[in-house]
Chain A
Amino acid sequence: MPQKNAPPKKRGTVKIMEERCKGCWYCVNYCPTKVLVVSPRLNSKGYHPPELKEEPPDKVCIACHLCELFCPDFALVVEELK
């Protein structure tokens, strides 16, 4: 049986194309580990893009690719860490 608080095996990182973001924040809301947060920065259109904020060892991107599917603006790319 795996240890209860074992760090997730699959890890990833999210590449955010900020200029494409329109600030709907589906990614922030539906991220299963809640690693995406609303950034205080603004992009050139005046929207707040998301930002990856990991808190290892538990709160990390697990490369589930859900934000990629939810993003209506094709602004997110999930890269798996090997």
Chain B
Amino acid sequence: MISAGKKSTMELLREEVESLLRIDRLPHVWCPGCGIGITLNAFLRALIRAKIDPNKTVVVSGIGCTGRAAGYVNMDSFHTTHGRAIPFAVGIKFARPELNVVVFSGDGDLFAIGGNHFVNAARRNHDILVIAVNNFTYGMTGGQHGPTTPTGAYTTTTPYGNPDRPFNIPHLAISLGAPYVARWTTYHLMQLQNSIYTALHRKGFRVIEVISQCPTVYGRRNEMKSPLEMMEYFRKFSVRKDDATFDEMELTYNGRIVVGVFRDVQGIPTYEERYNDIIRRAQK
């Protein structure tokens, strides 16, 4: 990897992370102990390690707490309308196929408001990397229940427990044929970083779900009052299982979190490749 006379690899990595951040805008808006900062750190480190040119990378995000990530990276970034991060990313990829397009957005944005776009982009296998930060709730608007809130969880809009079933995001992505599907928590620092690193080298619709903590509006109402308690929950209750079944992948209220790389296949043609093929055949 990177070698220099005096500084070690990790020190250089930290310096480059600093150069990829808009440091004039720090400290950021996220609450004390929010996992989005940890995820952003892992993403930036993976990007540097993968030696991908930041000038050829676009970070697209929607609205919400995680949507603010686009404002803190010192690269070309888009802060799009609510739920439409994936359509914007698809448009960027169509117009400039040489760019690496990364969608960095939250669970409410990608799976509630933008659920249709996620499903259809995964079905068509667009060449984008989706980092979905799942904090179980709508953090920015005050902790309403969302499509990823586990059954029985207490939120502002479900004071007696959530009756709905949560989305099983890895299973949804696998069923739509996404070539790379992984899930990590923010406690799995190196695994998350390595997973993003691997995904940056793959082609197709890659989905990495990051279970993140929201101590301010979710943990506070669900027996985890401090950021550390949420982190301890991830540490104690996460199990790595790469060949997990549908039932194991499902998230339950304060229950086991199965993490791992659930699908990693190569050679599935992306939408852009198939589209170019069609154009070639039509012009014959």
Chain A residues within 8 Å of B, Cβ to Cβ: 19-26, 29, 45, 47, 63, 65-66, 68-75, 77-80, 82
Contact = CB atoms under 8 A, between A and B. Distances in A.
Interface in B127-165: none
B41 A72 contact: yes
B6 A22 contact: no
B37 A71 contact: yes
A26 B228 contact: yes
A26 B18 CA distance: 20
Nearest to A22: B32
Given A23-B32, A70-B189, A71-B37, A29 B27 contact: no
B196 to A, nearest CB: 13
Contacts of A65: 10, 14
Counting chain A CB atoms within 10 Å of each CB, which of B21, B37, B190 scores highest?
B37
B27 A20 contact: yes
18 contacts: A19-B27, A23-B32, A24-B32, A24-B228, A29-B231, A63-B10, A68-B10, A68-B14, A69-B42, A69-B189, A69-B190, A69-B193, A73-B37, A74-B18, A74-B21, A74-B26, A77-B14, A78-B11
Interface string B48-79: 00000000000000000000000000000000
Contacts of B38: 69-72
B236 to A, nearest CB: 14
Contacts of A71: 37-38, 41
A29 B35 CA distance: 16
Report the contact-size class of chain B (Cβ under 8 Å from the partner).
Answer: 20 to 34
A78 B187 CA distance: 20
Contacts of B34: 72
A26 B190 CA distance: 16
Contacts of A68: 10, 14
Contacts, number: 70
Contact of B8 (A20, A23, A77, A80): A80
B146 to A, nearest CB: 21
A69 B14 CA distance: 9
A22 B41 contact: no
Contacts of B18: 74
A50 to B, nearest CB: 13
A73 B34 CA distance: 9
B227 interface: yes
B30 interface: yes
B26 A73 contact: yes
Given A68-B14, A72-B30, A80-B11, 4 more contacts: A24-B33, A26-B227, A29-B231, A74-B37
Contacts of A47: 32
Interface string B227-249: 11001000000000000000000
A69 B192 CA distance: 11
Best-surrounded residue of B32, B41, B45 (most CB of chain A within 10 A): B32
Count chain A CB atoms within 10 A of each CB in B8, B27, B34, B189 and give the residue with the most. B27
